[in-house]
Structure 1
Amino acid sequence: MSSPTTPALPSRARVVVIGGGIIGTSIAYHLGHLGWTDTVLVERDQLTSGTTWHAAGLMVTFGSTSETSTALRTYTRDLYTRLEAETGLATGFKPVGFIELAADEGRLEEYRRVSTFNRHCGVDVHEVSPREVAEMFPLARTDDLLAGFYVAGDGRVNPVDVTMSMAKGARQRGVTIAQGVSVLDVGVRDGRVRSVVTDHGTIECEYVVNAAGMWARQLGARSGVSIPLQAAEHYYLITEQMEGLDPSWPVIEDPANFGYYREEVGGLMIGLFEP
Structure 2
Amino acid sequence: MPLSSHTRFDAALSFAAQSVERTMERLLPTGETGEARVFEAMRYSSLGGGKRLRAFFVLAGATLFKVGSLSALRTASALEFVHAYSLIHDDLPAMDDDDLRRGKPSCHRQFDEATAILAGDALQALAFEVLAHEETHGDPAVRLTLIAELAKAAGARGMVGGQMLDLLAEQEGSDQSIGAITHLQRLKTGALISFSCAAGAVLGKAGDHARSALSMYAHDLGLAFQIVDDLLDIEGNAAELGKTPGKDEAAGKATFVSILGVERARAQAGMLARQAAAHLEPFGEAADLLRQATEFVVARRS
* Larger helix share, 1 or 2: 2
Q: Assess same fold via TM > 0.5.
A: no
Which has more strand, going by share of residues? 1
Question: Smaller-chain TM-score range?
Answer: under 0.3
- Greater relative contact order (Cα < 8 A, sep 6+): 1
What TM-score do you get using the length of structure 2 for normalisation?
0.23
In our comparison, the structure showing a higher alpha carbon Rg is 1
What TM-score comes out, normalization by structure 1 length?
0.25
